[in-house]
Amino acid sequence: MKAIVYDGPHSVKVDEVDDARIEGPQDAVIRITTTNICGSDLHMYEGRTDVEEGTVFGHENMGIVEAVGDAVERIEVGDRVSVPFNVACGTCRNCNAGWTSFCQRVNPNEGMVGSAYGYAMMGPWRGGQAEYMRVPWADFNLLRLPEGTDKEDDYTMLSDIFPTGYHGTEMAGVGPGDSVVVYGAGPVGLMAAHSAFLRGASRVWVADKEQDRLDLAAQIDAEPIDIADVDPVEFVLDATSGVGADCGVEAVGYQAHDHTGEEHPELVLDNLVNSVKVPGGIGVVGVYVPEDPGANGELAQEGRIPFQFGQFFTKGQAMGTGQAPVKRYNRQLRDLITAGRANPSWIVSHRVGLDEAPDAYERFDTRENGWTKVLLDPAA
């Protein structure tokens, strides 16, 4: 079958790989109908991980169930399904507690928990940027979608970024009436803004420096803050009589840059601490890593981020972090899409066939204007 494989730094190619097949009694094989390129795929694409050449990428997947193993009972061949990016066993303590992002049985690397399809260091699970993929523990992992092909570009957001943005708002404690500042207007930040409104936020600000992304924020009535022009902390304090936003979401990660382009991993956290009220909640879904050998300086290399912790404490703030447990939210978000009350596809800029994926990767990686979210369609 055809798949997108890693071909060394800044290169992916379409290749023939072994067919996905049932390997164990709880497996399913999915015929992919949509699979998205994620911003985190670019970390591997840019050669900054130790992912091996030949690896099949893709952790944002949906499709039709093609085959199931002997022990699969709930899911049936022909079901239209969304595949959460976290691979999870469904029976360990963390899965029991709804923390599928930290499944204790799924990552064979020493001392590591949690896993994902087609991702460096995240276990042996082949990605879904391909014609087919294998899904283990299918009854537990797969979310059934309404039959047919309706709202395909909305439902495809359920595998990762919509629940991930939502998780940011959950950890930040966003509730009805709250004001929320989101740092980062990439796909995850935009989903956080959308989620904040779904949870009843009264006002949402989104800070970024890319105009195309800020325009997308404005389309859902979030208030864009162009950090190329203004200081976001001052902006939010001005808008709140000096009090600050009720909640904040970090959707940038450790590669934060200041307006001059210099990397400042503590910058966004500082901005959050200073623009969120006393006391207020902060949800961090932008990725920070324990080791970053290529970073500037010893602290950053060890994943130490010297943000204003003293101020954070004095303001009595709370912070939640980490990868989203997609399965905790995807059913509810699916129902909002089905009812027409959530419409995450507004950020989609392109839907292309697998053969166009290498070109799409390059344009998305260079943040070519207007390439905000790319979907791959193996049948195209």
Restricting to residues 111-130, name those near a second copy by CB under 8 A.
111, 113-114
Among 42, 67, 92, 352, binds a second copy (CB under 8 A): 92
Contact segment (CB under 8 A) with a second copy among 152-160, 184-192, 301-309, 368-376 equals 301-309
Is 96:104 a contact under the CB 8 Å cutoff? no
Position 8 contacts a second copy (CB under 8 A): no
Position 311 contacts a second copy (CB under 8 A): yes
Among 205, 312, 361, 364, binds a second copy (CB under 8 A): 312
Contact segment (CB under 8 A) with a second copy among 11-19, 33-41, 150-158, 305-313 equals 305-313
Site string for a second copy, 59-88 (x = CB under 8 A): ----------xxx-xx--------------
Work out how close the CB of 149 gets to a second copy at its nearest, in angstroms, rounded to a whole number: 21
Residue 301 has which token pair? 């290399």
Work out how close the CB of 323 gets to a second copy at its nearest, in angstroms, rounded to a whole number: 6
Site string for a second copy, 162-201 (x = CB under 8 A): ----x----x---xxxxx---------------x-xxxx-
Position 50 contacts a second copy (CB under 8 A): no
Toward a second copy, which CB reaches closer, 91 or 211? 91
Kindly report the backbone phi and psi dihedral angles of residue 190, in degrees, each rounded to the nearest multiple of 5, phi listed first. -65, -40
Contact segment (CB under 8 A) with a second copy among 80-88, 226-234, 325-333, 368-376 equals 325-333
